[in-house]
Amino acid sequence: MANHLPTETVSIALAERSYDILIGCGLLDLPSALSCGSASAEALIVTNTTVAPLYAERLQRVLALHHTRVRTIALPDGEVYKDWATLNLIFDELLREAFDRKTVLYALGGGVIGDMTGFAAACYMRGVSYVQVPTTLLAQVDSSVGGKTAINHPAGKNMIGAFYQPLRVIADLDTLDTLPDREISAGLAEVIKYGPIADDAFLGWIEQHIDALRARDKTALACAVRRSCEIKAWVVGQDERESGLRAILNFGHTFGHAIEAGLGYGEWLHGEAVGCGMVMAADLSVRLGLIDAAYAERLTTLIERAGLPTRGPRLGAARYLELMRVDKKSESGQIRFVLIDAPGRASLHRADDALVAEAIEAHCV
Amino acid sequence: MANHLPTETVSIALAERSYDILIGCGLLDLPSALSCGSASAEALIVTNTTVAPLYAERLQRVLALHHTRVRTIALPDGEVYKDWATLNLIFDELLREAFDRKTVLYALGGGVIGDMTGFAAACYMRGVSYVQVPTTLLAQVDSSVGGKTAINHPAGKNMIGAFYQPLRVIADLDTLDTLPDREISAGLAEVIKYGPIADDAFLGWIEQHIDALRARDKTALACAVRRSCEIKAWVVGQDERESGLRAILNFGHTFGHAIEAGLGYGEWLHGEAVGCGMVMAADLSVRLGLIDAAYAERLTTLIERAGLPTRGPRLGAARYLELMRVDKKSESGQIRFVLIDAPGRASLHRADDALVAEAIEAHCV
């Protein structure tokens, strides 16, 4: 059944940087899905030690039909390795093997691999092409789409990076079969996010299908990935470099980044931190009188049903605030929060530290 | 007299990334020259330990009129520090001091400072603004203009970087007064370069004024900087990302990079390596029958009169070739050389290794 799902295409309109997101089953073995670079170019698959044994050989075999040379590099797995030292392993390989400016990089893995590969592509010889092949739900619905690439700095997440669009995104839903349950839940956090910020009807659909999604029903997953990508494409198409609207995609992320940084990257999954961050952000929206408590409650219930934490670590509100001040959305030391203005609509707000502290304390273990 | 030279403006036309190059005397003390960022933004001056005591305080004083906060960071001086570890000092400072996305970086120094500050601006929070304030002749006529930013990798020069345009370039000719003679000569290499690749009449003008230029006559320098920037602006305006024409600006650089890498970065100044590289490239142009020997001889004489080396280190032709293969212009392991097609015109060529080796051996000590 699942394999007979039609492949769907969502397009991101960014003038000469436009590209397609392909969503479907069996795409990793489909030569046509993977044909988008120059035929004469060389290719480097960048993956990690967890994903490599699962999918690298298959991808390498199909890419050999399109490229004169295909090599694979497997980085250590985890958010803690999203740093310069690990990024440099990609540059070392590219230079040791004399890959030239026509090289295409393939990011095979989750958000960390996608972000690092994209940033490596942005910087290698001042820019080579890359293709996203996301193998986690989180990467398929969010991080592989839209051209945000980065590495972490000890002082802040994603602080060093570039806006750099891929040639294509290939979301093979079959790769989600090998994903741990915890990572499915983490991905669902970013799916849920699109409801309160852009599409209240989608939130209702997720509520109805949350169990099917957690059970990896392919039809439900295809629908969730497609709608998520459509919303992201719509936002990114209007504001590629996050000068305004695009910031709404960071709903829950300001609190979430503080949780990740406060505990040390990798302790919680990014999606878990975002899940809990959305609970805090919804609460802050209520405290500012933007939405009623029932809507925040509804969102919290769904986040819980997705298998995500709804209570943050007890770092103390002061520490949260300190960590949030280095957020990229901050301006002159003032934190800006993505808050819900109404069901399906969000924007940036400032808030008093005292109110923010209340929203944090109300949702810490 | 010198201070009464009018300030001249050369514009680079790159749609929404267009900007002006201001050329003149006393610009560092001229508030209007330095007013181009957002009035509310914060500023970080990035300079090195040699330039900082000469000009940082003056620049900081003027910038305080435009920015709410101005800080300065002085990096260690030299090409050997054009690496990730030093680049990271900029990120450390920006994050420690909570500089936000509206920050403007000012690159106060030579080519190394300009390349690193530009790349830091390209990457910090996925992109902040920067202004080039070049204080060497080489940076004023070449590296500060056109948006090429980079750091070196142990395996190759400028291998990690970005195309990222500044808000403005401010070339204060007075800063050349403090430059060592050797660096004036190095800068003249890039001035001379524009003759054979784009403007044969300019080559004649340089021949007439080479002594005045070495003596730092401001009128001559103003003319040389302006014409160099005009040619560079014309080239970059047609081919920002070096997909074709822009490569001609690398005349002499393929051989030059091999000299720099072979000796270890910093042993020779970049301009010195380019000077000698142009002699080899002109010789190769002769060997391929593109130009006559007299033109190469004329160029060599001028390079010598500029105070530049015309004979390379004896690394052995095989080592040169090996080092040149990792040049960014290489494709599938084939080196591509910028060669002179006719006086004032250049393009990319391939050449047999044997012929290249002859051109190298003929000009080694």
**CA A353 – CA A335 distance, rounded (Å):** 9
- Where do the H-state alpha helices sit in chain A? 57-63, 84-96, 111-123, 137-138, 181-198, 200-214, 218-238, 253-263, 270-287, 293-305, 317-325, 353-361
Residue of A nearest to B84 (CA): A84
pTM of structure: 0.94
- Within chain B, strands assigned E span 8-12, 19-24, 43-48, 70-75, 104-109, 129-134, 148-153, 156-163, 168-172, 337-342, 345-349
| Mean pLDDT estimate for chain A | 95
Q: Does position A3 have pLDDT exceeding 60, yes or no?
A: no
**CA A123 – CA B113 distance, rounded (Å):** 18
| pLDDT at residue number A121 | 98
Span B26-30, average pLDDT: 94
Is residue A250 among the annotated active site residues?
yes
Selecting among A67, A82, A257, A336, the annotated active-site residue is: A257
pLDDT digits (tens, 9 = 90+) for A129-141: 999 999 999 999 9
Confidence class of residue A327 from pLDDT cuts 50, 70 and 90?
A: confident
Q: Does A124 touch chain B (CB under 8 A)?
A: yes
| pLDDT at residue number B1 | 43
Span A37-55, average pLDDT: 91
Measured between beta carbons, which residues in chain B are less than 8 angstroms from residue A254?
A: none
Q: Does position B336 have pLDDT exceeding 90, yes or no?
A: yes
Inter-chain CB proximity B161 and A123 less than 8 Å: yes
Selecting among A232, A298, A328, A363, the annotated active-site residue is: A232
Q: Does position A1 have pLDDT exceeding 50, yes or no?
A: no
Q: Does position B167 have pLDDT exceeding 90, yes or no?
A: yes
The domains of chain B are located at: 2-178, 192-361
| pLDDT at residue number A35 | 86
Q: Does position B3 have pLDDT exceeding 60, yes or no?
A: no
| pLDDT at residue number B105 | 97
Beta carbons of A351 and A288 less than 8 angstroms apart: yes
| pLDDT at residue number A326 | 82
Percent of chain B with pLDDT over 70: 98
Is residue A82 among the annotated active site residues?
no
pLDDT digits (tens, 9 = 90+) for A84-121: 999 999 999 999 999 999 999 999 999 999 999 999 99
**CA B206 – CA B191 distance, rounded (Å):** 8
Span B76-98, average pLDDT: 95
**CA A281 – CA A158 distance, rounded (Å):** 20
Inter-chain CB proximity B126 and A98 less than 8 Å: no
| pLDDT at residue number A2 | 47
- Where do the H-state alpha helices sit in B124-217? 137-138, 181-198, 200-214
Q: Does position B2 have pLDDT exceeding 50, yes or no?
A: no
| pLDDT at residue number A157 | 86
Is A181-361 CATH 3.60.20.30?
Answer: no
Retrieve residue B292's tokens.
């006559």
Q: Does B89 touch chain A (CB under 8 A)?
A: no
Inter-chain CB proximity A153 and B91 less than 8 Å: yes
Q: Does position A156 have pLDDT exceeding 80, yes or no?
A: yes
| pLDDT at residue number A39 | 67
Inter-chain CB proximity A331 and B102 less than 8 Å: yes
pLDDT digits (tens, 9 = 90+) for A291-310: 999 999 999 999 999 999 99
Q: Does A122 touch chain B (CB under 8 A)?
A: yes
- Given 3.30.70.1340, 3.90.1170.10, 3.30.565.10, 3.40.50.1970, which CATH number is that of B2-178? 3.40.50.1970
Span A219-224, average pLDDT: 98
Inter-chain CB proximity A98 and B325 less than 8 Å: yes
**CATH number of the domain at B192-361, please?**
1.20.1090.10
Q: In whole angstroms, how far apart are CA A274 and each of A55, A241, A269, A281?
A: 28, 21, 9, 10
pLDDT digits (tens, 9 = 90+) for B251-286: 999 999 999 989 987 799 999 999 999 999 999 999
- Closest alpha carbon to A69 in A32, A89, A98, A30: A98
Measured between beta carbons, which residues in chain A are less than 8 angstroms from residue B125?
A: 159, 161, 328
Is residue A328 among the annotated active site residues?
no
Option in A84, A127, A331 nearest B162 (CB): A127
Option in A40, A153, A162 nearest B127 (CB): A162
Q: Does position B225 have pLDDT exceeding 80, yes or no?
A: yes
pLDDT digits (tens, 9 = 90+) for B119-129: 999 999 999 99
- ipTM (interface pTM): 0.93
| pLDDT at residue number B39 | 67
